[in-house]
Amino acid sequence: MNIKRLHTTLCSVDHVKISLLAFFILGGNISCNNREVTPLDQALNASTGQEITVDAKTKIDILFVIDESPSMDIEQASLAANFSTFSNFIFDDLRNAVDYRIAVTSTGSKRSNEEDPFGIIPKDLGKFVTSSGDSGADCAGEFAPVISSTSLGCAIEDDQCQRQALQQRFSCLAKVGTNGIVFERGLEAMRSSISCNGPNAGLFGACCIAVEGENRLSYDPLCRSQNNSTLPPPEFLRPDAILVVVFITDEDDCSTFSDAPIDSPYATCSVDSITVDGALGTGDAAGRQSANAAIYNAYNNTTYCAAGNPQACHAAECTNASGQVLDPVDCYYTRCALSLVTSGRSLDLNSQRACRQQGYKLSPVSYYHEFLLSLKARPNEQILVANIVSTGLLTPGGFRLNFSDEPTINSSCEGEEYFKSNLDECCPQGNCGAVSDINSCADGFSGWRYIDLMSMFGSNGLGCREGESDGCVNLCDPNLNAALSALRERVISAVGDYCVARRPACLVSDPSTGETRECTEDEQDTPEHYQLQVSQVCELSVEENGDCGTVGESSVLGLGVDYLLDVNDPSCASGVRVQLTSPPKAGLSTKMELLQNLVLFDE
């Protein structure tokens, strides 16, 4: 990257003070009067120009999305038993100076037989878990939807009680049960759980705001309405917190737009499945007419059809590749929902394979990626997505396995053992036809949609990527100890990971003249050439649960010893990222000084 020659004089020294809690503080505007950038949670209450003391605690919101299907009993028990492998960093590495919130949701509970006789439509998708599938006395009753240090019944300073209570509470909530639907909607459960139109919206304070002209809410990542609101501050999805999303499942995702009708991008899909299924009734002509009418009515909604022409809206959403306009019911089961029930209103015997054979009907993974990005002012620094899922299975030729209703290329491939041993033959270029999927490891099936979402977050994604199976986080080891250890290390590294808002000057001493000059293109890849000083200051005393020495004491950190500098990080706006080599001690804040901005004039 070439440094542009500037016509205006820049500040000679810029000071940017950041706290462990606010990754995005460095992304704010840096003014030439050396005013400190204010973290959001305090800026909301600060008058213009007021000097603000930066909080030296880290805020982390952790969401666990846990598979509730019948095959997950061992994994849920292992997660519950080994959770302290992950959570002890709160106490051991950060001395309980982290302001954490933990919530759990599941991939989909069953409805009553009267509501959903086929067991295919999830109930309360995304709702935070408040009761346990464990019938033991320790897990009886209802729990708060969000776990925090103040919800455990322990004094904040009682480390041992906090540690034990956190392990016990999470152990109960992690056992979400194994009676959920077998069409797991993990991605939609995640999205609904932190959507302003979802079941937990009341926990997000005044960060949910009305969308003009629409009957729905959206999340404001700066939470600008909180200051003038009577609502309490957000209990979860706090704007200045790191958001960590952890998926734990042995199946791939099966989310469709019909699973969250109020947030659907299409009018056709804005009608919930229970309404459509109930209108269809026995599937006779009258039932189909009723269901068509229910869906068609959505085309009158100006949120989706601004022109107020329902016929044109219907045609725009429901014209297929052949130019035929599908009736609303056919359109619904082409664009919005899986076809799991026969015309005779019985569960399709092939429905177990529907998520893989009707994959074209699923909500695109990019839909969930874009949603997560919309939740944070600095998403590349404030979001971590982790997968504890089954690895992605490829053919020897490197193709993913794709399934359809087409007949198999060879009838021998319908036998599981022959299929496993002859993937290139049975799945030419990955096209396997109408055969059953096979396990990628242990009892799990390839979690491709989770893998794709995690991979979209680059270095902020944790888990096995395409083509990886060993040495990466996955579900293949039912113990989960290694996976939770890796998650712990990744979160610890995140709290000492900062983007620098402005690219520091790159300067070298010219050996021929002895004068300081701008780096050449080749020299710009050397971190030592950048005019940046990183230091730390202790802001919390021992009485305030700090562990950093004398309050006010500061120290300059050494490049390559105390911190690493990446000067070509595309996820940072400036391209520059600082990563501490060890987690910061409780009570420390980090300060970065751009020691010199080069002033050059065109000749």
Q: Do residues 17 and 589 lie in contact, with contact meaning Cβ atoms separated by under 8 Å?
A: yes
| Interval 479-515: pLDDT, tens | 888 899 999 888 888 877 888 878 899 999 998 898 9
Distance of alpha carbon 305 from alpha carbon 316, whole angstroms: 10
Q: Do residues 381 and 373 lie in contact, with contact meaning Cβ atoms separated by under 8 Å?
A: no
Torsion, CA 110, CA 114, CA 118, CA 124, rounded to 10: -30
Report the DSSP pairing between strands 98-106 and 147-148. Answer: antiparallel
* Whole-number Cα distances in Å, 528 to 507, 554, 559, 596: 9, 22, 8, 14
* Angle, alpha carbons 83-202-216 (nearest 5°): 120
Q: Which residues pair with residue 579 across a beta bridge?
A: 497, 564
Q: Do residues 249 and 70 lie in contact, with contact meaning Cβ atoms separated by under 8 Å?
A: no
Distance of alpha carbon 262 from alpha carbon 218, whole angstroms: 11
Q: Where are the beta strands (DSSP E) in 324-483?
A: 383-389, 402-403, 431-433, 461-462
Tell me the H-state helices in 116-157: none
Q: Do residues 598 and 1 lie in contact, with contact meaning Cβ atoms separated by under 8 Å?
A: no
Q: Which domains are delineated in the chain?
A: 14-56+496-594 (no CATH), 60-202+250-255+366-393+442-494 (3.40.50), 263-362 (no CATH), 402-433 (no CATH)
Q: In the chain, which stretches have pLDDT less than 50?
A: 1-56, 597-603
Please name which of 198, 172, 180 lies closest in space to residue 64, comparing C-alpha atoms.
172
Q: Which pLDDT score is estimated for 409? A: 83
Query: Residue 10, exposed/middle/buried by CB under 10 A (0-12, 13-18, 19+)?
Result: middle
Q: Which pLDDT score is estimated for 343? A: 63
The verdict on pTM exceeding 0.75 is: yes
- What angle do the packed helices 448-456 and 186-193 form, to 10 degrees? 50
Q: Do residues 65 and 245 lie in contact, with contact meaning Cβ atoms separated by under 8 Å?
A: yes
Q: Which pLDDT score is estimated for 118? A: 67
Tell me the H-state helices in 266-422: 273-280, 285-296, 310-318, 328-335, 354-357, 365-373, 379-382, 416-421
- Residue 509 has phi, psi (to 5 degrees) of -90, 120
Query: Residue 254, exposed/middle/buried by CB under 10 A (0-12, 13-18, 19+)?
Result: buried
Distance of alpha carbon 351 from alpha carbon 349, whole angstroms: 6
Q: How many helices (H) and strands (E) does the chain have?
A: 16, 19
- Residue 88 has phi, psi (to 5 degrees) of -65, -15
Q: Is 180 helix (H, G, I), strand (E, B) or coil?
A: coil
Report the DSSP pairing between strands 14-18 and 588-594. Answer: antiparallel
Other Cβ atoms less than 10 A from the Cβ of 589: the count is 24
